[in-house]
Each structure stands twice: as structure tokens, then as C-alpha cells.
């Protein structure tokens, strides 16, 4: 097994293979049955461990030799103008956002949150691989208040890659995990904020709960929130459309697409209503209380 890992690592690192994707897919289709990993992906600014387990987020990166959500990460990096920024990664997974952002901008503090112990162990692997010292790790979830919520981190229970998530209904083999609001974490001095805050919310339909738990931060800081808009929000929040529109109005938030074009919330709900039933999300958008 170790020898096969080493052989495939050399294939992945090969310049010729990276230029010939068809040939690489041929090798991948063979080795995915023979090894479990980890294989190290060498991206421009950082490295990332990848495993061959089905539905593992890092497997997609290995299969395609691509960074996860690269355009989103570049959007965040373009927002960071100085060391007076803080990046908060809610639903950090294995560090697909936290690792490249912390590695590229070592002068800022990064806070990474995830309710899964499995996730945190893998995140620590990637931090050590990159010799990163500016990521602060927290093994609990983010919501609107201190509470305990059912959490499922068994990938076999979900269709999508890396879809660890909170669930409203209890069933067998669920963990009860603690959650905090971001406002409470600031009050308890668990996180230290700069004037400018960038927050990534990707917690599988519980993003609005997290949003409601940062009202004080919105009052006192310039905030940019990368917000995944999905049908799961409708499933997890009663009367979500009206409550969401009321929240963004009361907190003086503006909605943008990832090219920083202003967009109305009514347009998002229109897009969501027309989305194919096979798909849960319509993409990521930016909420901000300051002009971009």
C-alpha cells in the first residue's frame, strides 16, 4: 500500500500529467481502488492532504487537481486590504478556505469552527503540513445562541461531498454538539476582532441562525459575509423569506453577487424557486454592512 501511495504521489506531482488531464483521469480511475491516501496536493501557495474515500471533499480536489471554491477564496483575499482584517470560517471542513487564506495572509488572524471531531483532526493535519500558526481552531458549531443541536457527520447519510450538517430531527447515531453565537464568543474573549471582519457561512442550511447571532458584530464592525443560499434554509427556517428580508433591512445589509454587483433578495428567492429539484444550492453571495 505504501509503495502504491508513493507511485501515485509521483503521478500527481508530474508536470506532464497535470497538462494531460485525460491521462491523469485514467490513472486516477485505477488508483482510487488501490489506495486510501493521503496524497499531498501541491497548489501554488499551499499544500493539502487528499484521501480517496467516497464523498470526501478532498477526493474531489484530487480527482480534478483543483482547489475547492478557488474563485470564492480569491474573492475573500481581494477583500483583505491590510492586517486590520479577521477571517472567520464557520463550517471550516478540512480547511479548504482557512488554509489558503491563512497561508497567503499570515499577518491576519483566522478562526476556524466545525462541530465534527473528524473534521478538526483533518484540519490540524493540513495546518501542520503547511506550518501555519495563525489559525485558531474551535470544535463546536455556530448558531444564534448557546445551545446543543443534533449533528450528523456520517457522509454515507448525505448525497453531497463533505455534507456534515446539523439536523432538526433526531435519529440514531447522532451527536449532540454545543453551539455558540459569534456575539457570545466575542463577549467571552474567545475571538478577538479587528475593525474589518470577513465571515464565511457554509453550515448546510443553518446559515441564518448564525447570521442572527452576530448582531453586535454588525453594529460595531465592517462586516463581509460569504453566505451560501440554498433550499435547506427554507427547510430549516419557518417563514424564512420574510425573516431574512426583515433582518437585512434592520441591520442595514446590502446583498452582492461574487462580482460585487448589487442584487435584491427577491431575485435570489426567484432563482431559488426556479432551480432544478436535483440541486440544493444556487451559490454563494455576499452580505455586507459597508460599501464594497
Residue 8: closest CA among 24, 25, 31, 42: 31
Cell of 103: 497561508
pLDDT 10s digits, 253-278: 999 999 999 999 999 989 888 877 77
pLDDT 10s digits, 5-51: 999 999 999 988 888 999 999 999 999 999 988 999 999 999 999 99
Alpha carbons 37 and 39: distance in angstroms, whole number: 5
Q: What is the DSSP letter of 156?
A: G
Cell of 199: 465571515
Alpha carbons 176 and 114: distance in angstroms, whole number: 13
Residue 200: closest CA among 281, 67, 83, 111: 111
Percent of the chain whose pLDDT exceeds 90: 70
Alpha carbons 79 and 72: distance in angstroms, whole number: 11
Asked if residues 165 and 203 have their Cβ atoms less than 8 Å apart, the reply is yes
Cα dihedral 186, 188, 190, 192 sign = positive
**Across the strands, what pairs with 116?**
none
pLDDT 10s digits, 75-115: 999 999 999 999 999 999 999 999 999 999 999 999 999 99
- Ordered strands of the 222-230 beta sheet: 135-138, 109-113, 85-90, 196-201, 222-230, 281-288, 254-256
Cell of 115: 462541530
Contacts of 241 (CB under 8 A, 6+ apart): 234, 269
Alpha carbons 57 and 107: distance in angstroms, whole number: 27
Average pLDDT over residues 214-242: 91
Residue 273: closest CA among 225, 241, 248: 241
Ordered domains of the chain (ranges, CATH): 2-64 (no CATH), 70-288 (3.40.50.150)
Q: What is the pTM of this model?
A: 0.93
Asked if residues 31 and 4 have their Cβ atoms less than 8 Å apart, the reply is yes
Amino acid at each position: 500500500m505504501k509503495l502504491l501511495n508513493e507511485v501515485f504521489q509521483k503521478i500527481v506531482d508530474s508536470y506532464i500529467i497535470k497538462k494531460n488531464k485525460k491521462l491523469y483521469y485514467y490513472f486516477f480511475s485505477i488508483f482510487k481502488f488501490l489506495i486510501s491516501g493521503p496524497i499531498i496536493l501541491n497548489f501554488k501557495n499551499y499544500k493539502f492532504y487528499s484521501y480517496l474515500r467516497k464523498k470526501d471533499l478532498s477526493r474531489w480536489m484530487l480527482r480534478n487537481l483543483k482547489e475547492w471554491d478557488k474563485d470564492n477564496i480569491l474573492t475573500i483575499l481581494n477583500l483583505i486590504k491590510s492586517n486590520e482584517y479577521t477571517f472567520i470560517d464557520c463550517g471550516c471542513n478540512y480547511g479548504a478556505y482557512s488554509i489558503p487564506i491563512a497561508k497567503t495572509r499570515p499577518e491576519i488572524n483566522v478562526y476556524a469552527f466545525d462541530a465534527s471531531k473528524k473534521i478538526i483532526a483533518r484540519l490540524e493535519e493540513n495546518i501542520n503540513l503547511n506550518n501555519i500558526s495563525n489559525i485558531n481552531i474551535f470544535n463546536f458549531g455556530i448558531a444564534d445562541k448557546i445551545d446543543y443541536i443534533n449533528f450528523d457527520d456520517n457522509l454515507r447519510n448525505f448525497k453531497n461531498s463533505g455534507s456534515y450538517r446539523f439536523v432538526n430531527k433526531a435519529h440514531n447515531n447522532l451527536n449532540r454538539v454545543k453551539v455558540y453565537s459569534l456575539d457570545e464568543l466575542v463577549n467571552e474573549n474567545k475571538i478577538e476582532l479587528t475593525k474589518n471582519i470577513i465571515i464565511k457561512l457554509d453550515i448546510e442550511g443553518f446559515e441564518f441562525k448564525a447570521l442572527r447571532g452576530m448582531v453586535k458584530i454588525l453594529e460595531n464592525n465592517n462586516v463581509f459575509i460569504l453566505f451560501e443560499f440554498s433550499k435547506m434554509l427554507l427547510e430549516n427556517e419557518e417563514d424564512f423569506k420574510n425573516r431574512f428580508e426583515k433582518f437585512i433591512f434592520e441591520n442595514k445589509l446590502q446583498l452582492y453577487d461574487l462580482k460585487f454587483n448589487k442584487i435584491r433578495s427577491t431575485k435570489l428567492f426567484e432563482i431559488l424557486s426556479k432551480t432544478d429539484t436535483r440541486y440544493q444550492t444556487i451559490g454563494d453571495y455576499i452580505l455586507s454592512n459597508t460599501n464594497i
